[in-house]
Structure 1
Amino acid sequence: MTTDSTVKAPGGTELGRYLRARRARVTPAEAGLPAGTGLRRTPGLRREELATLAGVSVDYYTRLERGRENNPSPAVIDALARALRLSGDTHERLYELAELASGRLTEPHPTADDTVRASTLRMLEALAPLPAYVVSRYSYMLAANAPGKALLPGLWDWPAEQRNVTRYLFLHPVGRVLYRPWEETVATSVAHLRAVGGADTDSPRLANLVGELLLKSPDFARIWERYDVCERGGGSKSFDHPEVGAMALTYEVMTLARTGGQRMVVYQAKPDTPDEKAMLGLAPQD
């Protein structure tokens, strides 16, 4: 169906693609450079501008971006990160891709296991009436308690192999209207998919998921090309739920040990608020 080419453009390295994507995100004004004259063919920094800001030669930077130089020093990586205004997860991703390009990072991520431990399933049930579910490394839905299932209406109508939360956001009619604001929610989800992909960019499962979304969703293709990365550790989401109405919930994300990347997501609301009343409406009524 799809191949790794749906995730990575032919030629070059993932490091080069990341540098190009991030370079296009920084304007000359943001970098403290004069706008200059004439028509710019690139929406962001030119190669020579970034090279100057990072203190490397244009030839060296060009070879780095084109995959002909694969061993940048930590000092060069930090200089590029400063010039590209990277911090946190985006800075760490630059380091990780440099390690991959150099061949120093060769240990593959553990293969994801879709089997959810019995103890984890018991925990999900004990958390009710809080909505909770378990997803795989690439956000495939593996298990949920009753409120967790009710939180994402329509997802469970799909076959198990299609129950992916990111896929739901872009391709399910309810997923496209469930969250407010939708654009911000999906941008975070795509950035998280970029982050957890990490060194596992050759994963057939990731390639198939991304390939399908690139083919079927122009919105996904547009956001994927930004190359934003963000590890998700919790936050808040606003819903316009078809059954219980509007509600704002906070959530925590916990990585489950020895599972190859499984995560448990648990939602809650402030006590004695309309949000809590709406959330409790997700639980089956006796």
Structure 2
Amino acid sequence: MATIDLRTEIKEFLSSRRARIAPERAGLPAYGGNRRVKGLRREEVALLAGVSVDYYVRMERGSLTGASDGVLDALASALQLDEAERDHLFHLARQSRTPSGPRRRRPAVTVRPALQHVLDAITDAPAWICNGRYDVLAMNQLARALYSPVLADTRRPANTARFVYLDPEAAKTFFVDYDRIARDVAAKLRMEAGRNPHDEELIALVGELSTRSELFRQRWASQDVRLHRSGHKRVHHPVAGRLDLDVESMEMPAEPGLLLNVYTAPAGTATADGLALLASWAASQERLATEIQALS
């Protein structure tokens, strides 16, 4: 994938969302038993959105340049978009209004020392910072221990999307809900592509995953998008065993594009005990590394 083409993104996103809605679901009569299109027709979407058929056809062909927020809201309602899909539509429209230019390489992202200090102050929960491309930018000691299978790849920055799709056997062993994780990773990368379609590192990552993973190609083609949100993650750690973690994923207003992720477990649960065991193991590993360095 040499570039992320906005017109193609818009066309495929809108057509895929239209195809999933049956007329009955949209409150429209389904005349005849032989519809030649899957889901709604373009004229039916135009009717529901309150725009002309020609105008909707232009939008689905990849032109959102002149679409107002009111039109986009109406289109989102007509296509029954969820929150993430609506945000993605607005991102695509916003990018369409921006003069096109060459792909750009983002400056190397470094986490401020103060943020690393914040992570290090969190001693009883894995905490780490990533960007929208799933690059791991900073971690506390417990997060490094938890994600040791991900960090086994010496490439830096470590990237959880590469781990999920390019080391699937290890990822399936680590992530209990591997299929869901794989689906969510692709959907969040698609969301990031709508925000930053000219990000050279993102384009390279999507190209690499598309070239090397059939599963990623399938997930990417679905056009699904997803927001980074709170939830649950189940992993099987080689030292701590099964951990059922609560996840808080928070955007950082002072650091646009970065996310703080914190994993916790209720006190008294097996997972809380597992995190305590993991913390003890991580501390012993660090002491061992320090001793070896002192002897060398």
TM-score, structure 2 length as denominator?
Answer: 0.82
- When Rg is computed on C-alpha atoms for both structures, the one with the higher figure is 2
Shift of 1:274: 0.6
> Percent same amino acid at aligned positions?
33
Q: Aligned pair 1:165/2:166, yes or no?
A: no
1:239 aligned to 216, 235, 255, which one? Answer: 235
Q: Determine the structure 2 residue equivalent to 1:80.
A: 75
Q: CA RMSD in A?
A: 2.8
SS in structure 1 at match of 2:228: coil
Q: How much has 1:270 moved relative to structure 2?
A: 0.5
Structure 1 residue 152: deviation in Å? Answer: 2.2
SS in 2 for 1:201: coil
The answer for the alignment partner of 1:200 in structure 2 is 196
Give the match for residue 287 of structure 2.
none
Name 2:182's counterpart in structure 1. 186
Distance 1:42 1:162 in 2: 45
Q: 1:147, 1:284 within 8 Å by CA — same for their partners in 2?
A: no
What does residue 244 of structure 2 align with? Answer: 248
How far did 1:205 drift? 0.5
Q: Structure 1 residue 258: deviation in Å? A: 4.2
Say which SS state the counterpart of residue 110 (structure 2) adopts.
Answer: coil
Q: Tell me whether 1:126 sits opposite 2:121 in the alignment.
A: yes
- Give per-residue Cα distances to partners, 1:52-102, cap 9 Å, x unaligned: 322323222111111356312333212211111013232222223223223
Moved more, 67-76 or 266-275: 67-76
Would the alpha carbon gap of residues 265 and 257 (structure 1) be closer, same or farther in structure 2, given more than 3 Å must change? Answer: same
Q: 1:43 to 1:217 in 2, by over 3 A?
A: farther
Q: Which residue matches 2:143?
A: 148
| Structure with more of its chain in helix, by fraction | 2
Map 1:109-120 onto structure 2 (within 5 A). Answer: 111=106, 113-120=108-115
Higher RCO (Cα < 8 Å, 6 or more apart): 1
Measured against aligned partners, the alpha-carbon deviations of 1:109-155 in whole angstroms (never above 9, x if no partner) come to 99454212212222222212311212123110122223212222322
Q: How do 1:264-283 residues align onto structure 2 when only pairs under 5 Å count?
A: 264-283=260-279
Q: Is the 8 A contact 1:137 1:260 kept in 2?
A: no
Q: What SS does the corresponding residue of 1:33 show, helix, strand or coil?
A: coil
Q: 1:44 to 1:126 in 2, by over 3 A?
A: same
Match of 1:21 in 2: 16
**Cα pair 2:246 2:265 within 8 Å, conserved:** yes
Q: Give the Cα–Cα distance (whole angstroms) in 1 for the partners of residues 171 and 216 of structure 2.
A: 13
Matched, 1:66 2:65: no
Aligned residues: 280
CA contact (8 A) 1:240 1:246 kept: yes
1:3–1:60 CA distance, 2 compared to 1 (3 A):
same
Residue in structure 2 matched with residue 222 of structure 1 by the alignment: 218
For residues 146 and 66 of structure 1, the distance between their equivalents in structure 2, rounded to whole angstroms, comes to: 49
The farther-off stretch of 246-255 and 38-47 is 38-47
Structure 1 residues 254 and 28: alpha-carbon distance in aligned structure 2, compared to 1, 3 A threshold: same
Q: Is 1:100–1:199's contact at 8 Å kept on the other side of the alignment?
A: yes
Report the CA distance between 1:275 and its aligned residue: 1.3
Corresponding position: 1:3 with 2:41: no
Unaligned runs of 5+ in 2: 285-296
Match of 2:129, SS state, is: strand
